[in-house]
Amino acid sequence: MAALARLIVLVFLIEVMFYLLLRIYIRSLRRERLEEIWDVRHPDMAGHNRTRDEFIRRSMVGFDKTLKSRLLWLVFIIPTLAIMGIVYWVNWQ
């Protein structure tokens, strides 16, 4: 039972780490895309300024509701289901 508890804790910590890293990476990709959109639309206002930062901030508000952001939860679901399936298959077959 202790081994199972260690496995659960270890898998959860690894999943959290991957989730956070993927979330940071995907948000940075979206932010870069928004910066490029701003630079194309406003070539005279390229570079960092308050208007550009406000545009990016407003555009990122709804990002957590997008499909890409929601699919990140599969980082928790798929490995957990796979481990449960393997444990079931090994112990009860």
pLDDT value for 20: 94
Helices then strands (H, E): number in the chain? 4, 0
The span from the CA of 63 to the CA of 66, in Å, is 5
Q: Please tell me the number of Cα atoms within 13 Å of 7 on its side-chain side.
A: 10
pTM: 0.77
Per-residue pLDDT reduced to its tens digit, 12-44? 999 999 999 999 999 999 999 999 999 999 888
Owning domain of residue 86? 2-92
Q: With cut-offs at 50, 70 and 90, classify the pLDDT of residue 48.
A: confident
The number of domains in the chain is 1
